[in-house]
Structure 1
Amino acid sequence: MSTAPRTTTMHAAQPLAAWREVGCLAAQLPCDGVALAGAAAIASAAHARVTVSQLLPMPVDTANAWALSMDPVIAERHDRIRRDARRQADDIRQRLATRAVPGDITTLESSFEEPASLAAMAARRTDLSVMARPSDSVTDAAYTHTIFAGLLLASGRPVIVVPEGSDLVMPIQRAVVAWTDTPEATRAMHEAMPLLLHASAVHLVTIDAPASPLESAANAGDGAAALLQAHGVAVTVDRIRGQGRATSRQLLDYCRTVKAGLLVAGGYGHARWREWAVGGTTRELFFETSVPTFFSH
């Protein structure tokens, strides 16, 4: 299904104008530069600001009834973490200045508050968040997944995950929308609209979509595609047969085939405990994606 899009004057002028504050998570990891580059690319295209949340998990002193002051070893570690954070902040300011993107940095020290909770709190003051996922360290990837889950479930804002080794390039040439007839997928599609309007081509993909009271299985996704077209998005519907393969693998294979620069997906459509216990598409996409992925819950 492909129809010439109807483009409104507002959409043609500046589809990204809805975004004024682009959040960026700096998790004190080597891949933080990937997140900053992605956030800066969006902010530059949208004429928006970048708000960097520098997350510092601080080691906590062990309770000691005889101690009258903090363990000097812990205090020294705190000082080292803060020094490293100041160096990173200076580097971030330089990178933003080089890209001519306005922005600021907020340092969030996490001692007794969960890091993910602090990150979500900061993200509520932005239009969307950008974070990176490390590729080489299993421990770092697990840590960033915890932050990602907190952001997605508790911030009320969409999250773009940029895997290390990839780039979020604007304007996006090809985007893939993973469509299921659920609130999460619908919200993701709507919240990604500024990027979809910016894209040269959009593929709306369904995998083994069942029939519904509004659409037959043969027409699954047509209603969502018609809405995208009404907004001015050039969209094609592709219906895929799963053949027993994991949904995440099917989606990522499809993204590679069409050379997508962005994947849009609803996040945590099942209860989160089920995602953690037996796995799920959101969790698998986070760990396996090789393309920048826009999640919304």
Structure 2
Amino acid sequence: MYFKSLLSVVEVKQSDRDLKIAIDLCSEINAQLSVMILAVASLPPIGDYPIGTADVWVQERQWDLAALDARVEDVEMLVKDADISATVIDEYPELARVGHSVGRRGRYVDATIIGPDLFANEMLKAKVIDGGLFESGRPILLIPHGTKPTLRPKRVLLAWDSGVECTRATREALDFMACAEQVHVTMIDPDTSSVANGPEPGADIAAYLAHHGVKIIVDRLPSGNDAIANVIKGHATDISADLIVMGGYGHTRLRERIFGGVTRSMIDKPGFPVLMAR
């Protein structure tokens, strides 16, 4: 079964580009679209601020809420004209609560979309990815500028390292991979020890995928002292991949997410649509 519901997170002042991408993806797989329109609330003035500062803060909030209401109306008309099933909601959290808001909404869809305009928003990008990846229990779909996303991919690169996160991503993308023409199970410098992959790295996951009707090619690649993320992206180019599937690695430290090296590199400059799960 393909995804049946997708969440598109858009900043209140963004263009419609991310929304149109999300609409096209939902139309492609007959999924419902949830749109979360996001504005960031300023912290209330505390302490020795000039007289009148609180009044300015209240006025700014009124402007922000009015902008949210107007944007909700515009988006509701947009999705209505697109003739898809959709819901539109607005959120007005402070910056520190953005990830939590996205994660909470993301629990009730199959995946959260990070479109190119939001991807270019340095203030919100990390917060939205953090919430979608760590707090929703669902995968995220990263769509950087200049890529052509599809949820009916012909060629998929599965970045495999035998980890739990990668296993989760594989399960989330299983239906897409079963319908693809080729799925390249890609391993970089695979460990052949008995506690890792065994003498034939990739054989176990290939057998699992084959049971689900996936057409598999196992690619074991040397890094050649290059960064693993670069090898993955280079191989994706070589095989003309439509989608990269991978696990997202990280942990919490003082309530900030610290991403692993490969995850960070793929988030910063993916170059391809990436379905990432944790």
Alignment of 1:164-183 (within 5 A): 164-183=145-164
Compute the RMSD of aligned alpha carbons.
2.8
Q: Using the alignment, how far apart are the partners of 1:26 and 1:167 within structure 2? A: 19
Q: Using the alignment, how far apart are the partners of 1:278 and 1:151 within structure 2? A: 14
Query: Aligned residue for 2:206?
Result: 225
Q: AA paired with 1:26?
A: V
Query: Aligned residue for 2:6?
Result: 22
Alignment of 1:36-115 (within 5 A): 36-64=19-47, 71-111=54-94, 114-115=97-98
Q: AA paired with 1:190?
A: R
Pairs aligned (count):
275
Secondary structure of the 1:71 match is helix
Alignment of 1:122-161 (within 5 A): 122-134=105-117, 140-141=121-122, 143-161=124-142
Superposed structure 1 runs of 4+ greater than 4 Å apart: 64-70, 133-137, 275-279
Bigger mean CA deviation after superposition, 164-173 or 150-159? 164-173
Structure 1-normalised TM-score?
0.82
Q: Percent identity?
A: 21
Q: Which runs of 5+ in 1 are unaligned?
A: 1-14
Residue 133 of structure 1: CA displacement? 4.6
Q: Using the alignment, how far apart are the partners of 1:46 and 1:121 within structure 2? A: 24
Kindly provide the CA deviation profile for residues 200-258 of structure 1, in whole angstroms up to 9, marking residues without a partner as x. Answer: 221110000101427435x2112112211111111211110011111111111111121
Residue 115 of structure 1: CA displacement? 0.6
Secondary structure of the 2:92 match is strand
Q: Which runs of 5+ in 2 are unaligned?
A: none
CA separation of 1:278/1:55 partners in 2, compared to 1, >3 Å: closer, same or farther? closer
Alignment partner of 1:288 is 2:272: no
Q: Using the alignment, how far apart are the partners of 2:158 and 2:102 within structure 1? A: 26
Query: Aligned residue for 1:271?
Result: 251
Kindly provide the CA deviation profile for residues 50-86 of structure 1, in whole angstroms up to 9, marking residues without a partner as x. Answer: 1111222111221258999972322332233234333
Contact 1:128–1:159 under 8 Å retained in 2: yes
Q: Using the alignment, how far apart are the partners of 1:146 and 1:283 within structure 2? A: 13
Residue 142 of structure 1: CA displacement? 5.2
Secondary structure of the 1:156 match is coil
Q: Using the alignment, how far apart are the partners of 2:223 and 2:15 within structure 1? A: 33
Residue 165 of structure 1: CA displacement? 2.4
Residue 196 of structure 1: CA displacement? 1.5
Contact 2:178–2:214 under 8 Å retained in 1: yes
CA separation of 1:278/1:244 partners in 2, compared to 1, >3 Å: closer, same or farther? farther
Kindly provide the CA deviation profile for residues 145-194 of structure 1, in whole angstroms up to 9, marking residues without a partner as x. Answer: 23202221111111111112223134212111000011000110111112
Contact 1:38–1:130 under 8 Å retained in 2: no
Alignment partner of 1:241 is 2:227: no
Secondary structure of the 1:205 match is strand
CA separation of 1:79/1:165 partners in 2, compared to 1, >3 Å: closer, same or farther? farther
Q: Using the alignment, how far apart are the partners of 2:15 and 2:214 within structure 1? A: 32
Alignment partner of 1:209 is 2:209: no
Structure 2-normalised TM-score?
0.87
